[in-house]
Amino acid sequence: MLDYTYKLTLTPWEMNASDVETLREYGFSDRAILDINQITAYYAYVNRIADGLGVPLEAFWKELGKAN
């Protein structure tokens, strides 16, 4: 699942039917695959909207980064 979401996030133009088939082979239902796809796409969409509008990160993200 993580390989699928990684590929969908970074190189969506390279997605093909075999990516979905691999998830099925690991036991994911069509509904689960749709959920995985929609959640991944939603977060990519929302982040691009925020980045495109210059929305700053909340302060706690900066503090969290300092803690690591």
Do 23 and 33 form a contact (C-beta atoms < 8 A)? yes
Q: Say how far apart CA 18 and CA 16 lie, in whole Å.
A: 5
Do 35 and 5 form a contact (C-beta atoms < 8 A)? no
Do 64 and 51 form a contact (C-beta atoms < 8 A)? no
Regarding pTM above 0.85, the answer is: no
Say which residue the tokens 């509008």 belong to. 53
Round the average pLDDT of the chain to a whole number and report it: 93
pLDDT tens across 38-64, in order? Answer: 999 999 999 999 999 999 888 887 777
Q: Say how far apart CA 35 and CA 54 lie, in whole Å.
A: 28
Which domains does the chain possess?
Answer: 2-67 (1.20.1290.10)
